[in-house]
Copies of this chain bind each other. A is one copy, B any other.
Amino acid sequence: MISFESDYMEGAHERVLARLSETNREPLSGYGFDRYCERAKEKIREACECPEADVSFLVGGTQTNQTVIASLLRSYEGVVAAESGHINTHEAGAIEYAGHKVLTLPHREGKLDPSALSAYLEGFYADANHDHAVFPGMIYLSHPTEYGTLYTREELTAISEVCRRYDMPLYLDGARLGYALVSQGNDLSLADLCRLCDVFYIGGTKVGALCGEAVVFPKGAPKQFMTIVKQHGALLAKGRVLGVQFDALFEDGLYFEISRHAVAMADRLRAGFREKGYSFYVQTVTNQIFVVLENKAMERLSRVARFGFWEILDANHTVVRFATGWATKETDVEALISLL
């Protein structure tokens, strides 16, 4: 059975694993105060061209979203997100558990629209009763989005400007950030994110690590962020496990190499689908492909390959997702195409 289920089905890229082995016997300070964490942070700051950025390592995505958002919001504020945003749909209410409302706006292929955002904020403050409502306190977006789509630099700049105008932090969830940065037609760099966002994270779990997300605050983290992380149960005793992995991921551009491989595999597969006349639910350039399958074709394919159910389109068609990753083999891609 060949697998295109998601990008977190295998362990870690071999170079990441090797680094864990090599450093395994070294006694190192806990909680992230070790030289691998330090070195990984330094490499990330370099990759971001942002020497003053504050970098922290957390274990997983929902944890990171909950911790970062709670660290930035005042109690009476909520976080604005697209209705399709991960924090709104698939995090078991982690944001609300931390006391904050997710204020949703309609999405366009997973994306927040800058002018819709602006109109919402204008409307909020124009409402004479807004003191009785949850204040929009920050903006959450993901890049790539849940639909594998990308913001352009122009769009992100527009959103960032709205945030600045309302003095609200902009947070970008980069669970799959690598796959965005190396995609065709992408025009955003890590340095751009540092310039336009107040905080974002570089996802490790879905880009070749066993686990781990690198949170980047370009202008510095909230006061006592480490204590906040601990309070959320998110501070790893063996912080080295995260530091060593990100040290490997950001050595010789491995993070981008992994991403390019996955996107190249996805591009090949996309081409295969296109050639065979399949239609796409959303046009993507990243490592996720959303295809409309006739139900019988879906059943047939599911006997040879694993992929993700997305949604029912109509009585005869289903949207499914194929995802590639660091471990995707070209032979598997070709095998799948040959079966289409």
- What residues of chain A have their CB less than 8 Å away from a CB belonging to chain B? 3, 5-6, 8-12, 14, 17, 20-21, 23-31, 59-67, 70-71, 74-76, 78, 89-94, 96-97, 99-102, 128-129, 131-135, 205-206, 210-211, 223-224, 226-228, 230-238, 240-241, 306, 309, 327
Contacts and interface: CB of A to CB of B under 8 A. Distances in A.
Contact of A27 (B10, B24, B211): B10
A140 to B, nearest CB: 15
Contacts of A76: 92-93, 224, 227-228, 231
A195 B228 CA distance: 32
How many of these chains are in the complex?
4
B9 A211 contact: no
A21 B67 CA distance: 31
Contact of A23 (B11, B14, B205, B226): B11
B9 A94 contact: no
A265 to B, nearest CB: 14
Contact of A99 (B12, B20, B97, B238): B97
A230 B23 CA distance: 31
Contacts of A226: 131
A10 B70 CA distance: 32
Contact of A5 (B27, B66, B129): B27
Nearest to A175: B237
| Best-surrounded residue of A78, A235, A237 (most CB of chain B within 10 A) | A237
Contacts of A236: 59-60, 211
A31 B232 CA distance: 19
Contacts of A227: 76, 92, 131-133, 135
A232 B231 contact: no
Contacts of A25: 10-11, 327
Sort A-B residue pairs by CB-CB distance and give the 4 closest, nearest first. Answer: A63-B233, A11-B24, A3-B27, A93-B134
A292 B91 CA distance: 42
Nearest to A3: B27
Nearest to A327: B25
Given A129-B90, A230-B62, A237 B206 contact: yes
B97 A75 contact: yes
25 contacts: A3-B27, A9-B29, A10-B26, A12-B24, A21-B21, A60-B235, A62-B235, A63-B234, A65-B233, A71-B75, A75-B228, A89-B133, A91-B231, A91-B233, A93-B100, A93-B134, A94-B231, A96-B96, A96-B134, A101-B102, A135-B227, A206-B237, A210-B210, A210-B241, A211-B238
A131 B224 contact: yes
A28 B8 CA distance: 9
Contact of A306 (B27, B74, B96): B27
Contacts of A24: 10-12, 14, 17
B17 A223 contact: no
A318 to B, nearest CB: 13
A30 B306 CA distance: 13
